[in-house]
Amino acid sequence: MIDKSGHIYDNTVNFSSDFQNPYPYEDYAYPKVTIVVPTFNCVHTVSLTLDHILNQLYPRFEIVVVDAGSKDRTLEVIKNYRDERIRIFSVSGYHRYEMLNKGIAQAEGEYLNCLFPGDFYLGRETLKYMMMLALNHQSPDLVFCGTFLRNGRSEPKTLFRHLNLKLLKMGQQPTSLQSCWFKTDTLKVLGKFNTSYKLRGGYELLCRFILNRRLKSISTNRVLTDYDLRLVTRRMVLTHFYETMKTVFHYFGLYATFRWLCRQKDILRFLKLWLRNVRGAFLGN
């Protein structure tokens, strides 16, 4: 299915064909993939992510670790893998989008994916499946899948939506950044991530992506990544609100911003977190 902007959705993918010949390409045909992993004092979670990447049944990939000066044993753990597919770079401070841009600049892969410590692939053939999808559709600029969301406080959820202007005008993403594989050259053409953002850099990048009519995407509704939402604070909710409003206004105008304000849920999320903290302060739970 192709929408008005030319983006392709292959959400069902021919499963009967997949079963007969799941991966019809020789190993040499698959593009090299770069996985960028930003790290900072994450000794307890980085192994989970690296183990799942290194266990991938995929012929050509590299891991670009960008560390922000970890003070714990994070770098020691990473270096102990002694795997030539892991390359480590350092930056002076933790800023997620500056770190991702550093990884993009160092990437040698044709496609690039971003995982944060604690995130991981849900199967050993995640990379192979996503790159097969890309090869099946003439190597589009973006390939994405569904994601599994968990935060330890509520029931886990899955996220997958079609990528279109209507969705982005509502301040929503089709999936998590961790479930997106961009062509590395496309990221460079787009100008990489906007480093003025703290939380919604992935959403802002997708807005630029879809407004460029020359870029193509392909998606599958298969859930292939696990995204650790981590602890959500009131400050994060306010930042999410502000950055979403700023982006909607910048790319889609005042009317779209007004419609988004009428539908957004960040204010309700903020109030729920505030009430939870008040209850904890007075009742001790």
State the pLDDT at residue 230.
Answer: 76
The amino acid occupying position 34 is T
State the pLDDT at residue 19.
Answer: 41
Beta bridge partners of 61: 33
Place of tokens 């729920």: 272
143 has pLDDT over 80: yes
CB 225 within 8 Å of CB 156: no
End-to-end CA distance of the chain: 50
59 has pLDDT over 70: yes
198 has pLDDT over 70: yes
Mean local confidence (pLDDT), 58-79:
98
* Burial (Cβ within 10 Å: 0-12, 13-18, ≥19) of residue 250: exposed
Count the domains in the chain: 2
Place of tokens 């079963």: 19
State the pLDDT at residue 7.
Answer: 57
State the pLDDT at residue 150.
Answer: 85
Residue 228: half-sphere exposure toward Cβ, Cα within 13 Å? 13
Asked if residue 55 is part of any domain, the answer here is yes
Asked if residue 15 is part of any domain, the answer here is no
State the DSSP code for 11. Answer: S
State the pLDDT at residue 278.
Answer: 43
Q: Specify whether 253 is located in the same domain as 142.
A: no
Place of tokens 């795997």: 83
Q: Specify whether 78 is located in the same domain as 141.
A: yes
Q: Which has the higher per-residue pLDDT, 277 or 16?
A: 277
pLDDT 10s digits, 20-48 = 567 889 999 999 999 999 999 999 999 99
What's the CATH code of the domain at 82?
Answer: 3.90.550.10
Q: For 86, phi and psi rounded to 5 degrees?
A: -100, 125
Q: Give ∠ CA 190-192-198 in degrees, rounded to 5.
A: 130
pLDDT 10s digits, 74-110 = 999 999 999 999 999 999 999 999 999 999 999 999 9
Q: Specify whether 79 is located in the same domain as 169.
A: yes
Range of the domain at 49: 27-232
Average pLDDT, the chain: 89
State the pLDDT at residue 141.
Answer: 98
Strands (E), the chain: 33-39, 61-67, 86-90, 111-114, 120-121, 142-150, 157-159, 180-183, 217-228
Q: Specify whether 206 is located in the same domain as 276.
A: no
How is the chain split among helix, strand and coil, in percent rounded to 5? Answer: 40, 20, 40
| Summary count for the chain: helices (H), strands (E) | 10, 9
Q: Which has the higher per-residue pLDDT, 21 or 171?
A: 171
Asked if residue 202 is part of any domain, the answer here is yes
CA dist list (Å): 274 to 2, 81, 237:
43, 42, 11
9 has pLDDT over 70: no
The amino acid occupying position 226 is D
Asked if residue 221 is part of any domain, the answer here is yes
Q: Which two tokens mark 186? A: 């496309």
Q: Which two tokens mark 197? A: 């953002």
Percent of all residues in the chain with a pLDDT value above 70, rounded to a whole number: 85
State the pLDDT at residue 17.
Answer: 39
249 has pLDDT over 70: yes
